[in-house]
Amino acid sequence: MYARSTDSPVLLIGAAHVIDLARPLRELLNERTLDGIAIELDAERADALLAPEGRRPRGGGPLFARLWSLLQRRLGAEIGGGVPGAEMKAAALVARERSLPLFLVDDPIRSTLVQLVRAMPFKERVLLLASAVVGLFLPARVVERAIDRYVDAPDDYTAELRQVSPTLARVLIDDRNEHMADRLAELRHRGYGRIAVVVGDAHLSGLRTALGRRGIPTESVPFRELRAAKGRAPSSS
């Protein structure tokens, strides 16, 4: 269909950190011809996610980061049917099974969090910490309703985040989108054209735009489509 693999669009796949969509993700990846798979992780997080259960390092970093990690694990167990990062791990395993290169395209998490804390005004820091603490005690059904609202209008969610915490949106979403787009553009330059990229769904729109500015075509499969596929019977192929 394409004269060269680098003419093909980058496949962007939106994941959710607290809902296990590993099965539909695997099916999607396995039906594609790929030169490689990229995931929204750095080396530290990838090592932790792929390590055997008893050898996974304990979380570190700022207090709010540890609280968010704890919140993700609780919600993953209660509403997601798995552990946080299940899609990233599934993508990494597909790459291994198919002997495809696995690319880690995200910024190092520790330096990102340090940058975030330094850049945040005091009011935003307090708000972020408070929301993490409150989230630990929210009933799972409340979070599920919030996820449903996000699925219906993801752009509205992002706009609200920018209004409430513009620094968080810039450091955790916008800046990382640009950096991931740079790394994906470099992979294209090296000849890896047919790449599937698994990222958090909140990155999907911005990353698509960032790649477009670099002249790279994209195809997107948002979280809502994977979530819908999870409810369907597994493929018989």
In a domain, 217, yes or no: yes
In a domain, 236, yes or no: no
pLDDT in tens, 18-44: 677 889 999 999 999 999 999 999 998
Mean pLDDT in residue range 59-81:
49
In a domain, 93, yes or no: yes
In a domain, 235, yes or no: no
Mean pLDDT in residue range 119-128:
82
- Structural domain of 129: 5-230
pTM of the model: 0.81
Stretch (H or E) spanning 196: strand 195-200
* Tokens coding 220: 């997107």
Strand partners, 93: none
CA-to-CA distance for 179 and 161, rounded, in angstroms? Answer: 20
CA-to-CA distance for 40 and 32, rounded, in angstroms? Answer: 19
Whether pLDDT at 55 is above 80: no
Task: Assign 135 a pLDDT band (cuts: 50, 70, 90).
Answer: low
Mean pLDDT in residue range 106-133:
81
* Tokens coding 197: 């990229």
* Tokens coding 119: 């850049």
Higher-pLDDT residue of 183, 230: 183
In a domain, 121, yes or no: yes
Check residue 86 and give its pLDDT.
83
